[in-house]
Each structure stands twice: as C-alpha cells, then as structure tokens.
Amino acid sequence: MAAPNSAERKACWDARDELWKCLDQNQDRASACQQLQSQFEGRCPAQWVKYFTKRRDFLKYKERMETDGFSPAEGPRQPS
Amino acid sequence: MLTARCIVGDLHRGGRTLGLLSGRQQAGLLRPPSLPHLGCGRQMASVGSPVKLRTRMGVTALVGAGLFACWWWVDSEKQQELQRKRVSQLKRVALGQGDFSLVDHQGQRRTKEDFLGGWVLLYFGFTHCPDICPDELDKLSAVVAALDRDASLPPVQPLFITVDPERDDVPALARYVKDFHPRLIGLTGTSEEVKRAGRDYRVYASAGPKDEDGDYIVDHSILIYLISPDGLFLDYYNRMKNQDQITQSVRNHLQNYAKL
C-alpha cells in the first residue's frame, strides 16, 4: 500500500482537526461528532486513525497535567 | 618553534631591561650629584631634564607594551593549540564515524563519501509517517531554502534516510521527496544497510504491530542532524526548535566552522 501523498495527508489532517474541534466543543461526546468521525476515518489510513486517536488522548492528558497538576491515585486507606 | 623563539626573545629583552635599571640605580647611589638626571624618584625629575625623563618613560612604556604583546601572542597561540587538540579529540568520538552505502530515490548508489566536503542536514523517518516526519521535513526544507537565499553561505544538502526499508523502496521515496525541498535526496537500502546507517548516528527505530492491511507505524528518533564537511555530527535539532532557530544555528555553524 502506497503512503499518502501530500494532498492526501493534508485532507487527513484537516479531517482530524475538524473532528478534534467538534469533540472539544461537545465535551468529548462522540455521538455529537459521528459524521466528522466517519469523515476522519475515510480520509486517513486506519493506522493513522489509531495513532491520532491515541495522540489526542495523550495531548489531553498532558494538558490536564499542565493545568490541574498531578493528582495521585487513591491508595488503600490506612486504618488509624 | 615560533612560540619558543618568542619566549626566548622575551626573556632576553626582559633581562636586558632589568640589567639596565639596576645599573642606573647603582650609579645613582654611588654618585648622586654627578648624575642627577639618571636618579629615581620625583625630586630628581623636577631637577633634571624633563625630556630625558619623558624619553625613559616612553622607552619603558614601549618595552612594556612589547612584553605585553608578546605575552598575549604566546597565550593566544597556546589557547589555539589547546582548542585544536580538543577538537581533534572530540572528532575521534563524534557520531557518524561509519561509511554508509545506500541507494537514492533515483536508484543511484550513494555513500557517505559522496557527501564529504559539503554540509548536510539529515533526517531519519519513513514515508507512512502520520505527522511528525512530514512536519520535520517541511521545517528542514524551509531551513535549506532560507540558507539558499544567502549567497555568501555554502550550500546545504538535505538528506532523508528511511527507517522502513521494507516499504520505502526507490519509487516510494521518489514519490515522497518531491513534496519537499527540490534538492532533498531520499536514501534507502537493504534492511541491513539502513540499520547500519542508523547505527552510525545512534538512531532508534522500532516497527509497531501490523494491522489487517499490513500497515504499521515505525517509532523512531526524530532529530534533524547537522553534518559537517568532514562527515561527522556537529549539532542536532529536536521538535522544540522552530525553523528560524534552526536556520540561525546552522548559519552560525557555517560561518564559524574551521577546517582542521
């Protein structure tokens, strides 16, 4: 399978940006962005879809760390 | 040789000056009235001829300046020698010691030797790369274009070496490189050849799991390397560096590079 050329890359990135914008505006409710989601999947190779989805999670996580800081998971409560 | 001669000259001149001074002092002590203008101190200066004092001060200043100039010259020679030694030591441990042999996007065999004597900006990546490689290659192309506009600088050759020889054959690279700088050369080879080229520059590359279409993503180092005309690694630029920062840094290297 040939790698996407520059026009195909751009189409994929634009679809990704539109989907991400929609998800940002709708508090990540996937149901609100169904159409953009399928457009994104149609314009990007399946591997890229997986990669970008993980990448968004990572970027969100990074943003949360930067704004809210790290909150440690609750460990077992120690009986006092 | 020159250094030694200068030091000897220094000592010689310095010694003579000292001898002259002590001789005068002795004479002054023994026969103060007969040689008023040769004595030391302010009293004598006011009594004796001011021209003579001025001459002596002038000579002293000249000798002092000479000594200082000589010291400065010897010192700068020494610093340069140290610098030269340091650079040659660093070169022996620098990245890029190997001699890669790969095939370019037109099917021609290219070795590292072909690029010696010129500057190279090098990037490792793969054509199926989702976002980082095209971003970095765009940046690299813009940097080379900016440097091209300055006629006083030597040309910089952009190179792209694949880390995915399985899919990036000659036609795949030919299709890919035309999206970027017109002088960009894409290089591929057998997986062994590609691995060796990557090892020379300590590039990490690891192919991820294949999906049902046989597609996969290669995780790899994403640095742009600046290679000097002697074929060795000189500097690198990561994702945090923008186009202008890289252009400025490469320009500095091009202007300050001293061939050993």
Domain boundary assignment for chain B: 55-91, 99-254
Please tell me the distance in Å from B190's CA to the nearest CA on chain A: 19
Residue-level pLDDT at B52: 87
Partner residues linked to B224 by β-bridges: B123, B237
Please tell me the distance in Å from B255's CA to the nearest CA on chain A: 34
Q: Is B133 annotated as a binding residue?
A: yes
| Closest residue of chain B to A1, computed from CA coordinates | B215
Query: How far is residue B89's CA from residue B204's CA, in Å, rounded to a whole number?
Result: 26
Residue-level pLDDT at B47: 53
Tell me the domain boundaries of chain A.
11-64
User: What share of chain A has pLDDT > 90, as a percent?
Assistant: 61
Interface touch B131/A50, C-beta < 8 Å: no
Q: Which residue of A6, A55, A59 is the best one to mutate when testing the B interface, meaning the one whose CB has the most B CBs within 10 A? A: A6
What is Dmax (Cα atoms) for chain B? 112
Give yes or no for residue A73 having a pLDDT over 50: yes
A3: which chain B residues are within 8 Å (Cβ-Cβ)? 127-128, 167, 172, 175-176
Residue-level pLDDT at B239: 92
B162 and B126 Cβ atoms separated by less than 8 Å? yes
Query: How far is residue B117's CA from residue B96's CA, in Å, rounded to a whole number?
Result: 14
DSSP 3-state assignment of B187?
strand
Please tell me the distance in Å from A63's CA to the nearest CA on chain B: 17
A45: which chain B residues are within 8 Å (Cβ-Cβ)? 128, 213, 215
Which has the closest alpha carbon to B180: B151, B159, B165, B209? B159
Residue-level pLDDT at A78: 67
Interface touch A46/B127, C-beta < 8 Å: no
Q: Is B37 annotated as a binding residue?
A: no
Q: To which H or E segment does residue B236 belong?
A: strand B233-237
How many CB atoms are located within 10 Å of the residue B215 CB?
A: 17
Q: Pairing state of beta strands B224-227 and B101-104?
A: unpaired
Q: Greater confidence, A8 or B39?
A: A8
A9: which chain B residues are within 8 Å (Cβ-Cβ)? 134
How many A×B Cβ pairs under 8 Å?
39
Residue-level pLDDT at B86: 82
Q: What is the CATH number of domain B99-254?
A: 3.40.30.10
Q: Pairing state of beta strands B119-125 and B101-104?
A: unpaired
- List Cβ neighbours of A57 (8 Å cut-off, separation of 6 or more): none
A13: which chain B residues are within 8 Å (Cβ-Cβ)? 131
Give yes or no for residue A43 having a pLDDT over 80: yes
Token pair recorded at residue A1: 């399978």
Residue-level pLDDT at A30: 86
Q: What pLDDT band is residue A44 in, cutting at 50, 70 and 90?
A: very high
DSSP conformation class of B49: -
| Closest residue of chain B to A3, computed from CA coordinates | B128
Q: To which H or E segment does residue A13 belong?
A: helix A6-25
Residue A1 has its nearest CB partner, among B130, B175, B213, at: B213
DSSP 3-state assignment of B181?
coil
Residue-level pLDDT at B91: 79
Residue-level pLDDT at A67: 87
B136 and B144 Cβ atoms separated by less than 8 Å? no
- Enumerate the H helices of chain B as residue ranges: 2-30, 42-47, 50-93, 132-148, 170-177, 191-200, 243-256
Q: Pairing state of beta strands B185-188 and B101-104?
A: antiparallel
B82 and B90 Cβ atoms separated by less than 8 Å? no
Please tell me the distance in Å from B94's CA to the nearest CA on chain A: 34
How many CB atoms are located within 10 Å of the residue B164 CB?
A: 23
Residue-level pLDDT at A80: 57
- List Cβ neighbours of B164 (8 Å cut-off, separation of 6 or more): B126, B127, B128, B205, B207, B218
Interface touch A50/B128, C-beta < 8 Å: no
Query: How far is residue A43's CA from residue A4's CA, in Å, rounded to a whole number?
Result: 10
Query: Which segments of chain B have a pLDDT < 70?
Result: 1-50, 259-260
Query: How far is residue A71's CA from residue A68's CA, in Å, rounded to a whole number?
Result: 8
As a residue count, chain A comes to 80
Interface touch A48/B130, C-beta < 8 Å: yes
Interface touch B134/A45, C-beta < 8 Å: no
Rounded (10°) angle between helices A46-68 and A6-25: 40
Please tell me the distance in Å from A8's CA to the nearest CA on chain B: 11
Q: What is the mean pLDDT of chain A?
A: 89
Q: Is B40 annotated as a binding residue?
A: no
Residues of chain B in Cβ contact (below 8 Å) with chain A: 127-128, 130-131, 134, 167, 172, 175-176, 179, 211, 213-217
